Structure 1
Amino acid sequence: MRSTAAFGRLEQFDLEPQLNVVRIIQHPAAARPLFAKRTEATGSTPTEVSFGPFRLLRTQFLLLEGDKPVPLGSRALEILIALLERHGELVSKQDLMARVWPNVFVEPANLTVHMSALRRALRDGRDGNRFIINIPGRGYCFVASVAISAREN
Structure 2
Amino acid sequence: MMPGSTAAFGRLAQFHPESELDARGAAQTPDTAQELFENRTGSAGAAPADVLFGPFRLVPTQYLLLEGDKPVPLGSRALEILIALLERRGELVSKQDLMARVWPNIFVEPANLTVHMSALRRALRDGRDGHRFIVNIPGRGYCFVASVEAPKRGN
Q: The TM-score by the shorter chain falls in which range?
A: 0.7 to 0.9
Structure 1 equivalent of residue 42 of structure 2: 43
Q: Greater shift after overlay, 142-151 or 83-92? A: 142-151
The structural deviation recorded for 1:140 is 0.2
Matched residue SS, 2:15: coil
Give me the whole-angstrom Cα distance separating, in 1, the residues matched to 2:32 and 2:106: 25
Aligned partner of 1:100 among 98, 102, 111: 102
The structural deviation recorded for 1:14 is 3.3
Tell me the TM-score normalised to structure 2 length.
0.78
Structure 2, unmatched stretches of 5+, are 1-7
Structure 1, unmatched stretches of 5+, are 1-6
Matched residue SS, 1:83: helix
C-alpha change, 1:145 and 1:88, in structure 2 (3 Å) is same
Aligned partner of 2:78 among 66, 76, 79: 76
Task: Note if contact 2:95-2:141 (Cα within 8 Å) is conserved in structure 1.
Answer: yes
Give me the whole-angstrom Cα distance separating, in 1, the residues matched to 2:126 and 2:56: 12
**Identical-pair percentage:** 74
What's the RMSD between the two structures over aligned residues? 2.7
Report how many residues are paired: 140
The structural deviation recorded for 1:25 is 9.5
Tell me the TM-score normalised to structure 1 length.
0.79
Structure 2 equivalent of residue 17 of structure 1: 19
Give me the whole-angstrom Cα distance separating, in 2, the residues matched to 1:151 and 1:106: 40
Q: Once the two structures are superposed, what CA deviation does each residue of 1:76-99 show, in whole Å capped at 9, x if it has no partner?
A: 000000000001111000000000
AA paired with 2:42? G
Structure 1 equivalent of residue 140 of structure 2: 138
